[in-house]
Structure 1
Amino acid sequence: MAFSKLTLTCVFFYFFHFVQCDQSKPADNHHREHITNENFVIHRDSGDRFLVNFYGEGCARCEEYMADFNRVEETLRDAEIKMFDCNSKMVMQGLSVKRVPSLLYFRYGIPTFFDGVPVAEDIIEWVVDSHEVLTTELHDDTFEHHTQASSGATTGDWMVVFCIKAHADCTILLASLEHVALKLLNKVNAAWIDINHNPELKERFHLKKSTEILYFRHGNKYDYHLPDTEFSNLLAFASGAYQHSRADPVEPPKTPFDKVTEQIAEEIKPIENNQELPRDEPVEREEKEENLEVKVEQDGPQTPFFLIAGVCVSVVLALLFFLFFGRSSGGRQMKKGV
């Protein structure tokens, strides 16, 4: 049974107000499972809630941080939140984790990162606040309904990330977006779209790159123009820096009628431009010529037969005609002589 935000808050206050911790006890993380390059995707796609503590060998600050992370684990033991450690350089590089210690919190595959003071009290408060996913995944058939981007956006401003979910850079970008959503809660809506599975939106907004960010406000869209996608830049852009980008009117979504007329226009375009229609491939032409030769060969012997038969029938009919009318004429002459 999943714990609610209220339950986590109660656990937090109970632990720090009524449980005495031995601060002199050395940090021990040997009992925790490690995230590796081999098992990361399995855990990410499991749908579980879990925290990952990124640390480096020989990092003194990481050792101090480990003690606080142990206290967090003790506090959240009954909250159905798993705890992992990670010192894999490949995983950190894939997630763009550039410094240690660092902490990521995954919920249903969507991460968010901790940017506060690495002490147990602040970490637990952050876990409570980030318990639910704040960003929204949109699709071809839900985008306009949620954002109302082309009609004036009565649902508010939207910051939307277009990326390929299977890519590692998309995962860390979504973590930053999730943190923006937390910082600007009730001010800016945050959403993301997997462009590999939403071709209509990709075509509608003329997306060329694997990762693009758009800000929608009052029927206009603003392209992300800052040099990188660090959390601080994303937050600054959503907080007002979008105004330094050009405001382009949002194109309304295509109706079924629009799609049909476009398809017809594409089909008749070669005729209007007097373009030569596509010719058959050489192989196809050869096959057609061979089939024609076979047909001629099959039809050849049959033509004389039908011709001769027709002549014979005509001759027979002519003879019958003359015999019949000749006999009739002779009879009439004999009667006149009598």
Structure 2
Amino acid sequence: MIPGKFCFIFIFICCSFVTTSVVGQTLEVVNDDELLELFRTENYVLVLFSLKDCEKCKLYEETLIQIREELVDALSAWVVKVDGSNLVHIYDPTKEPALIMFRHGVPLLVPELEAMDYDLLLDILLNNRDPVVKELDDHSFEHLTQASTGATTGDWFIQFYSSDSIECQRLQARWETVGAKLKNRMNVARINRHGAGSMIARRFSVSQSPTFILIRRGALYKYTSSEYTIDSFIKFIEEDYKYTVKGEIPLPKSPLDDFVHLCFDMLRENPLIWKLGLAGLSLMLLGLAALRGGSKSKEHKLKKKSSKSSSKKSK
């Protein structure tokens, strides 16, 4: 009996010691400047955007402490937290706590778990150690998607973005999460409509950032909702696309058609250009009209002078 009691007490003390040591630990706290430096210098950074005196934030921190060593061993990852950061709204429009995993500078918004399951969270992080979203451009689009040939390279959910769009910047972490959730089911990609993907954007008549299209089984579906949440994107892929207009995938434009479309887009997106052009054309027409009027007046004077001289001779 005595050895059994001692054994039970020993196990109880050990468990209490481990629990106390874990609870007593904290994540390293950094500020925004230090966080940006980590993004530049480290391959993997897991950040807890937290607030002081936030009970839910404490639960997140305790969960991260449980898996920190495994993340360090597997990825040499930095696991830190920042309180009251100004950067959180760039990656997640909701309030703290928010958990973001940066892989080579590319953010992944870790979806909120109903229960902070250590194994599930670790599985999500390790299985998405590399960015999922593919970057397409004018040269790689047709080769990878084979959109116009109808070949089977899978379905594609594509975001057209532009570097000067704040909304597009805020979407990057969520879009990576969409890619992670749809991995092995379909391809998720991005195209810079003002950069290397401008021809593809004109081909699909994309004029706004962000714009989302689904290429599925040789058909085109446009995401028209103004709700840019992870759940709304997934719901569109799984159900809502069925209730949108099914369109045809446009064929690649000829160089002439693409040039005309480019000029049209430049005029539409830069109204000052066509206004200045219209003003210049108006001035040119007025100048031509003035010159023509002057030449007619001069011709009339010459005719009048000629008629006077001829009348004098006749006398």
Give the secondary-structure state (helix, strand or coil) at the position aligned to 1:90: coil
Give the direction of change, closer, same or farther, for the CA distance of 1:176–1:95 in structure 2 (3 Å limit): closer
Of 30, 50, 53, the residue aligned with 2:48 is: 53
Which runs of 5 or more structure 1 residues have no equivalent in the other structure? 1-18, 264-276, 286-338
CA distance in 2, matches of 1:223, 1:181: 18
Give the counterpart letter for 1:99 in structure 2. Answer: K
Give the direction of change, closer, same or farther, for the CA distance of 1:47–1:163 in structure 2 (3 Å limit): farther
1:195-236, CA deviations, whole angstroms, 9 ceiling, x for partnerless residues?
A: 231221222222222211110123322111223011000111
Give the secondary-structure state (helix, strand or coil) at the position aligned to 1:201: helix
- For normalisation by structure 2, the TM-score amounts to 0.69
Shift of 1:104: 1.1
Match of 1:271 in 2: none
Shift of 1:134: 1.8
Q: Is the 8 A contact 1:95 1:169 kept in 2?
A: no
Match of 2:265 in 1: none
Alignment of 1:181-330 (within 5 A): 181-197=179-195, 198-256=197-255
Shift of 1:152: 1.8
CA distance in 2, matches of 1:238, 1:120: 29
Match of 1:74 in 2: 69
Match of 1:130 in 2: 128
Give the secondary-structure state (helix, strand or coil) at the position aligned to 2:199: helix
Match of 2:292 in 1: none
Give the counterpart letter for 1:245 in structure 2. Answer: T
Give the direction of change, closer, same or farther, for the CA distance of 1:35–1:249 in structure 2 (3 Å limit): farther
Give the direction of change, closer, same or farther, for the CA distance of 1:196–1:53 in structure 2 (3 Å limit): same
Shift of 1:142: 0.8
Shift of 1:280: 9.1
Q: Is the 8 A contact 2:155 2:216 kept in 1?
A: yes
Q: Does 1:29 align with 2:26?
A: yes
- For normalisation by structure 1, the TM-score amounts to 0.64
Give the counterpart letter for 2:52 in structure 1. Answer: E
Q: Does 1:144 align with 2:127?
A: no
CA distance in 2, matches of 1:132, 1:20: 38
Give the direction of change, closer, same or farther, for the CA distance of 1:95–1:188 in structure 2 (3 Å limit): same
Match of 1:104 in 2: 100
Match of 2:109 in 1: 113
Give the secondary-structure state (helix, strand or coil) at the position aligned to 1:196: coil
Give the counterpart letter for 2:129 in structure 1. Answer: H
Q: Is the 8 A contact 2:192 2:198 kept in 1?
A: no
Asked which structure has the greater CA Rg, the reply is 1
- Higher mean alpha-carbon deviation, 104-113 vs 20-29, is at 20-29
Aligned residues: 252
Give the secondary-structure state (helix, strand or coil) at the position aligned to 1:214: strand
Give the counterpart letter for 1:192 in structure 2. Answer: R
Of 155, 178, 186, the residue aligned with 2:153 is: 155
Give the secondary-structure state (helix, strand or coil) at the position aligned to 2:72: coil
Q: Is the 8 A contact 1:162 1:211 kept in 2?
A: yes
Shift of 1:254: 2.5
Give the direction of change, closer, same or farther, for the CA distance of 1:28–1:184 in structure 2 (3 Å limit): same
CA distance in 1, matches of 2:261, 2:87: 46
Which runs of 5 or more structure 2 residues have no equivalent in the other structure? 1-14, 263-279, 289-315
1:258-277, CA deviations, whole angstroms, 9 ceiling, x for partnerless residues?
A: 658999xxxxxxxxxxxxx9
CA distance in 2, matches of 1:174, 1:69: 23
Match of 1:62 in 2: 57
Question: Percent identity over the alignment?
Answer: 23
Give the counterpart letter for 2:231 in structure 1. Answer: S
Q: Is the 8 A contact 1:111 1:171 kept in 2?
A: no
Q: Is the 8 A contact 2:202 2:258 kept in 1?
A: no
Q: Is the 8 A contact 1:149 1:218 kept in 2?
A: no
CA distance in 2, matches of 1:136, 1:247: 24
Shift of 1:191: 0.6
Q: Is the 8 A contact 2:91 2:109 kept in 1?
A: no
Q: Is the 8 A contact 1:111 1:172 kept in 2?
A: no
CA distance in 2, matches of 1:135, 1:195: 16
CA RMSD of aligned residues (A): 3.3
